[in-house]
Structure 1
Amino acid sequence: MSALFTPVRVGRYTLKNHLVMAPMTRSRASLDGTPGELAAEYYAQRASVGLIVTEGTQPSDDGQGYLATPGIYTEAHVDGWKNVTAAVHERGGRIFIQLMHAGRMSHPDNTPHHRQGVAPSAIAPGVPMFTLKGMQDIPAPRALTTAEVRQTVDDFRFAARQAIAAGADGVEIHGANGYLVQQFFAPNANTRTDKYGGSIDNRARFAIEVATAIAGEIGADRTAIRLSPGTPLWGIDEGAEGPALYRHLVTELDKLGLAYLHVSLQGNEPQLADIRERWRGTLILNRPGRTREAVGADVASGLADLEAYGQMVLANPDFVTRLKLGAPMNDALPNAFFGGDGRGYIDYPALALTDTVTS
């Protein structure tokens, strides 16, 4: 495990360790998408990890899916994120803002313009979503026109520029977990007949165009992407061609020289090996449900360059110190994951030794 605590180069930065805070939606932003008052403290408390990846942050009004998620496309958003990034940097951390367009995983009651969601095709996910009126079925989205797909690429580009203006060290494109980018991959969510649908090359095109646009805007070494191959979340089914799509996608993304590829995948070792073979750059691996005993195994084996953790970092602001000391971990409070105040957000206790043990 000692290799986890050594410096590692990622994009243009040298991180202090091989540990990453995975992106986690917390739904504590204001309704206009400005990060909440406690967000700076929440992220700064966890700045001992090598890299923080923020909660999913919408690049446009159309990109919002859930209540009280942050945005990064207005000046108010930028000002709010400046407080967060400054607090993280003051404690010696690095932070990438994750750009997340929810696509069809959206409800009109949750967005500032109260319009129908947008997606590759007009196919509902078949699941409900929490709104201010309670749980409601998600209505079918409106299919983006070809011109609107190109505009959405520009929305991502603009949001990346705004993230850098807000002091972020880089951005991570959310291409996982059933949201817009992955919706383009899946034949059961993408029945388009233009250049963004049909063949593997076409279904991967949107992700590659977004990554290329952002890399051109802020630099490839500050641009990253997260993928969750084969994850059947929110009605997504990538079908039998899924592995071939990811072989093509990863090969093309590798040519861009991005800061890192962040893969969320539990099991399916052959596909992980396939990705590792095609990705020559930095690989961050997040295995949902990974146990404390498995921490460090993927870095030690050489499969991953860094390991990302969600709930363990959420519940342990001094995650790195606890790992070094072999100390017990706090348990996360699931009923405080989404929305609310500081409870289950900034009040998880740190070890008494935190102030005297350096990371």
Structure 2
Amino acid sequence: MRTTPLLTPYRLGPLHLPNRIVMAPMTRFRAAEDGTPQPIVADYYAQRAGAGLIITEGIWPSRRGQSGWRIPGLQTPEHVRGWRVVTDAVHAAGGRIFAQLMHGGRIGHPLARLSGDVPAGPSAVAAPGPLRLRGGAKADPPTPRTMTREDIRQAVLDHVAAARNAVAAGFDGVELHGANSYLIHQFLADNTNLRDDEYGPATPAGRVRFPVEVLTAVADAVGAERTGLRLSPGNPQAGMVENDPAPVYRSLLAALDGLGLAYLHLTDNDRYPALADLRPRWHGPLIANVGENRAPTTRRDGESVLASGSADLVSYGRAFIANPDLPERFARGAPLNTVDRAHLYTPGPRGYTDYPALEEAAAGPLSALRAAPR
């Protein structure tokens, strides 16, 4: 068994994490058509309960924020019951799990939304396409509506209601998705927030006003110790443009640092070294993701992040898809399974819950261990 900082315990608010390896949120399109997680979703997350913390795939807080077909929701009693099956399974396996609340904002298409309407974002700026539609077809996104002040107030309320539903469903907390081109990120970015009101770039606090309002409201509703935030400063995914991220994100952290949030989940960027710039400005727990738009994060990558003091925990995405027992593999120096990319987003267990753990792989034929070097 290897000794590595990744496998040392960590106290995250009221939670005792057995290691510092976090399962990153990853969309997998396995929900029922109404957004209720199916039983196989419980199997998937329970298999990965050895993570110090699991953060779920993005979950829409209301139909207004649904970004795609078969992405799960946390709005209805059926959703809450479905997620309770998931959290019970994870807790029974000894794990801890946060729900990521992901409001799509401008991301979405009427043919991939239960409401059948055009989505709304900070400004009427269309996202690049294509988007997945119901039935597997693809189409370019429509130009979104510009959110009114009432739309913005409703989005805050939707996040609060979903956070309360998450607690009712047994989650240990919620992570607000402020990264990867979704609603909070759209308010922060240059090209998706062209507003001329108090939520726009014309005022010093304009870009960060909505993120601060929604984080504060959720923290007040379910407790700051149950509320985390994911950010990806300078991330160009889905056509996002942030020419000078530093002033915006410094301002945002200055407004949030004193709230006592559970954690900040921060992705690094080749153009803007977010970890180096923002770590000194954040005094709470910090989860680093260093694989965004880069090669998958390795064990050594994670060890380097912790050794540098850039973060307290490290999140892994692709490695957890194919390796449900990732912490144990790191501990044993074992090879990692490779990702079945052809079945990342297809219905059913293939490429989802059929990856072998070490014991299963050892019991089966060598050809069953789709393994690659670490």
Q: Which interval holds the TM-score relative to the shorter structure?
A: over 0.9
Q: Which range is displaced more, 121-130 or 311-320? A: 121-130
TM-score by length of 2: 0.92
2:233–2:269 CA contact under 8 A, matched in 1: no
Partner of 2:39: 37
- Residue type at the aligned position of 1:214: V
Change (3 A) 1:353 1:335: closer
Cα distance between partner residues in 2 of 1:41 and 1:338: 16
Cα distance between partner residues in 1 of 2:274 and 2:223: 29
Match of 2:313 among 297, 306, 312: 306
1:102–1:179 CA contact under 8 A, matched in 2: yes
CA deviation digits over 1:187-234, x for unaligned, max 9?
211111121112341111111111100100010000000000000111
Partner of 1:121: 123
Cα distance between partner residues in 2 of 1:110 and 1:249: 32
2:275–2:288 CA contact under 8 A, matched in 1: no
CA deviation digits over 1:230-285, x for unaligned, max 9?
00111110223x21000101121111110000012244574322210100000000
Structure 1 position 136 matched with structure 2 position 139 = yes
TM-score by length of 1: 0.96
SS at match of 2:342: helix
CA RMSD of aligned residues (A): 1.5
Match of 2:344 among 324, 328, 337: 337
1:200–1:245 CA contact under 8 A, matched in 2: no
Cα distance between partner residues in 1 of 2:102 and 2:360: 37
Structure 1 position 209 matched with structure 2 position 216 = no
Structure 1 position 274 matched with structure 2 position 277 = yes
SS at match of 1:124: coil
Cα distance between partner residues in 2 of 1:268 and 1:7: 32
Q: Which runs of 5+ in 2 are unaligned?
A: 363-374
SS at match of 1:192: coil
- Residue type at the aligned position of 2:200: G
Match of 1:71 among 70, 73, 97: 73
Cα distance between partner residues in 2 of 1:332 and 1:354: 15
SS at match of 2:248: helix
1:56–1:99 CA contact under 8 A, matched in 2: yes
How is 1:182-331 mapped onto 2 (pairs within 5 angstroms)?
A: 182-198=185-201, 199-240=203-244, 242-267=245-270, 270-288=273-291, 289=295, 290-331=297-338
Give the 4+ runs in structure 1 shifted more than 3 A: 266-271
Partner of 1:5: 7
Cα distance between partner residues in 2 of 1:12 and 1:215: 15
Q: Which runs of 5+ in 1 are unaligned?
A: none
Partner of 1:172: 175
Cα distance between partner residues in 1 of 2:282 and 2:51: 24
Change (3 A) 1:270 1:299: same
- Residue type at the aligned position of 2:16: T
Cα distance between partner residues in 1 of 2:314 and 2:361: 22
Cα distance between partner residues in 2 of 1:215 and 1:103: 21
User: How many equivalent pairs are there?
Assistant: 354
Deviation of the 1:82 alpha carbon: 0.1
1:68–1:339 CA contact under 8 A, matched in 2: no
Cα distance between partner residues in 2 of 1:250 and 1:273: 14
Q: Which range is displaced more, 149-158 or 124-133? A: 124-133
